[in-house]
Chains A and B, each alone.
Chain A
Amino acid sequence: DTGVSQNPRHKITKRGQNVTFRCDPISEHNRLYWYRQTLGQGPEFLTYFQNEAQLEKSRLLSDRFSAERPKGSFSTLEIQRTEQGDSAMYLCASSLVRGLLRDYGYTFGSGTRLTVV
């Protein structure tokens, strides 16, 4: 396992089109997180999954955004009817949480850079 993998690395799309990103976490990690990072800013939380359950969604995640993790392994983030304001780096991270065992940070992927023109 070489870490968290995100595809594609770059995506250019026209405004109004739909896009889908994929994240493959570290195989034994049960939690998967999506963040959005705009230029010059820190990552902003979007949503996270524990196994296949989506446990929390940020108010940043409008109804045009949907995320899934159907089998508790890889996850997809879809943006419908893209807008120029959606242009950002979309980061995925994973971690392992077991009961009361605390985990200490995420392993991040390299991100998918979305440009909406």
Chain B
Amino acid sequence: AQTVTQSQPEMSVQEAETVTLSCTYDTSESDYYLFWYKQPPSRQMILVIRQEAYKQQNATENRFSVNFQKAAKSFSLKISDSQLGDAAMYFCAYRINNNDMRFGAGTRLTVKP
């Protein structure tokens, strides 16, 4: 079975600083997709960034970037220049081909002004 583990239930960061959220996953597949989703309080899940396992280059979306270590099965999210609006639950997710997506338990990020 595929599992996704987020070992940090809560993280905090000072506004304008950088924070890294950790995610590891377990799979025997070689081709899959990894995602980070953001869920603000009482609001819907929003896709932050995605990574295809066959790509060695780490994905980047503006202030968000990932460190994808395939051999280690690690997929961390780095948020640079943190903003108050970044405060949310962040979920790491894994998906094989076009099947269903499996999520980690989430990391609650607090941004301090």
Contact = CB atoms under 8 A, between A and B. Distances in A.
Contacts, number: 55
B99 to A, nearest CB: 7
Interface stretch (B13-21, B63-71, B78-86, B102-110): B102-110
B97 A108 contact: no
A62 interface: no
Contact of B43 (A41, A45, A105, A110): A110
Q: Taking each of B6, B45, B46, B93, which has the highest tally of chain A beta carbons within 10 Å of its own beta carbon? A: B45
Contact of A45 (B46, B100, B104): B100
The prevalent SS among residues of B at the interface is strand
Contacts of B91: 42-43
Given A91-B45, A108-B44, A109-B44, A45 B101 contact: yes
A89 to B, nearest CB: 10
Nearest to B97: A102
Interface in A1-31: 4, 31
Interface residues of B, number: 24
Given A41-B105, A42-B103, A43-B91, A97 B98 contact: yes
Contacts of A108: 37, 44-46
B98 A105 contact: no
B104 A42 contact: yes
Nearest to B93: A42
A91 B89 CA distance: 15
13 contacts: A33-B100, A40-B106, A42-B4, A43-B103, A45-B100, A45-B102, A56-B99, A93-B45, A104-B47, A105-B37, A106-B101, A110-B43, A111-B44
Interface of A: 4, 31, 33, 40-45, 48, 56, 91, 93, 97, 102-106, 108-111
